[in-house]
Amino acid sequence: MAERVLTLSQPQIKRNEPVPVAVQSYWGMVRRRLVRDKITMFALGLLIFMVVISLASPWIGTHLLGFDPTSTDLLSRNQPPTWATDAWPLFQSFTQSCQNNAHCDWAQWGHILQSAAAGIGQCFTNGAPCHWMGTDDAGRDVLTRGVYGGRISLR
């Protein structure tokens, strides 16, 4: 009967044999560290999103938002955001409760969010374009001007 020998130690490497080592270039290590960092990847994604939005601002302004950043409409100047038309008085009463009392009345937030959601729903059901962020003193759409402003920042 043959005997079996069980060894618990690792096999010995002969000194003459080369040891395989994973070689990585400097830029490969940098890329690997950047890809592993979640905050860096989030910031990179946000930067790419902002650049794409800025480059596509002429299409977004005319097709999605429906406004020209330079056209003025004095009849609709200083308009609040469309979604906040009903929610704004509720929000002002909330801020007054925070300033006058020692605590804020957080129970009002449910009503504020419901009225804001109703305003957003009106934007989608209404056929006319909505001013998502309101209008300025000259009646220009603030969101369209902000999207176009990203193009200036890229220069």
- The model carries a pTM of 0.65
13-24 pLDDT per residue, tens: 667 777 777 788
Q: Are 150 and 54 in contact (CB under 8 A)?
A: yes
Identify the residue whose tokens are 């469309």.
Answer: 82
Q: Are 135 and 141 in contact (CB under 8 A)?
A: yes
Helix (H, G, I), strand (E, B) or coil at 135: strand
CA–CA–CA angle 143, 47, 65 (5° rounding): 20
Asked if pLDDT for residue 1 goes beyond 60, the answer is: no
Q: Are 59 and 152 in contact (CB under 8 A)?
A: no
Exposure pattern of 26-56 as b/e (b: 16+ CB <10 Å)? Answer: eeeeeeeeeeeeeeeeeeeeeeeeeeeebee
78-101 pLDDT per residue, tens: 888 887 777 888 888 888 888 887
